[in-house]
Amino acid sequence: MFVFDTITHRLRRGCETMAYPNGPAPALPDRHGGALRVDAAKCPDGCAECLPVCPTVAITQPASRGIALDLGRCLFCAACVEACPHSAITQTGDYRMAVRRREDLVLGEPGREQVRLAAALDGKLRKLFGRSLRLRQVSAGGNGAEEADLNVLGTIGWDLGRFGIQFVASPRHADGLVVTGPVSRNMELALKKTWDAMPEPKIVIAVGADAISGGPFAGHPEVRDGAASVVPVDLFIPGWPPHPLTILDGLLRLLGRLEDERRLTPPAR
């Protein structure tokens, strides 16, 4: 009787897994705001209203006019959006932020108002990992936020396994290394050993501002300011922490699983 009730309950509930990427993406919560856009042409000479409010010095004034915003250091607190009197920095509501090159997270130059989204791996790696990617995650001094959102991807609503992507317990079984945290001195050796234990070919994914740049801990003598100081990074996923949808988009983009950009229009806010 118990088994019958369970089956009946499951049939009534139906499929709990979201349709994305074959259907619309779920909307980001209002407080998230999504990726930032920087239109430095709107910045008048001498204006520096946004600089002092940034807690991680993610905003700088280059020698040329305007501003530069490093999404790899950004905590997405939106203090700069509120402080800018010229609307040079705005929230887009777009969950897509993952990039292949660290410099692509720096916004502000003409033609770089928004991030240049990650390109797929080359043909050989895409053939190897495109249908089956095993990841080993290392929390290198993380605060638990990025780790929690990675865990969310394994729930029934997201079902990361349907894309052939799974987290494994041993680096010897892994194709890729997912790093969270600013890489504390105490975790530096462990991270390096994990990388060395993985068989070739292998990739590295830095998740969150801490793993990309050190985040709010950047410059502290007890951290290495991100994963790239220890291992070569192939994908940078900004955020503090990144939304699970941002992480999933980055992974699928890296594997060449997002071919129809029309599906990727951010939901209306």
Domain contains 148: yes
Domain contains 4: no
Distances (CA, A) of 123 to 49, 201, 256: 46, 13, 9
Domain contains 118: no
Domain contains 198: yes
Query: Which of the 8 DSSP states describes residue 184?
Result: B
Domain contains 114: no
Domain contains 31: no
Query: What per-residue confidence (pLDDT) applies to 13?
Result: 65
Domain contains 180: yes
Query: What per-residue confidence (pLDDT) applies to 64?
Result: 65
23-62 as b/e: b if 16+ CB within 10 A? eebbebeeebbbbbbbbbebbeeebeebeeebebebbebe
Query: What per-residue confidence (pLDDT) applies to 43?
Result: 86
Domain contains 216: yes
CATH number of domain containing 207:
3.40.50.12280
Total domains in the fold of the chain? 1
Render each residue's pLDDT in the chain as its tens digit; 269 residues: 667 777 776 667 666 788 899 888 888 888 899 999 999 888 887 788 999 999 999 999 887 668 999 999 999 999 999 999 999 999 999 999 999 999 999 999 888 999 999 999 999 999 999 889 999 999 999 999 999 999 999 999 999 999 999 999 999 999 999 999 999 999 999 999 999 999 999 999 999 999 999 999 999 999 999 999 999 999 999 999 999 999 999 999 999 998 644 334 444 44
The parent domain of residue 260 ranges over 123-264
Query: What per-residue confidence (pLDDT) applies to 259?
Result: 61
- For residue 197, what are its two tokens? 């234990």
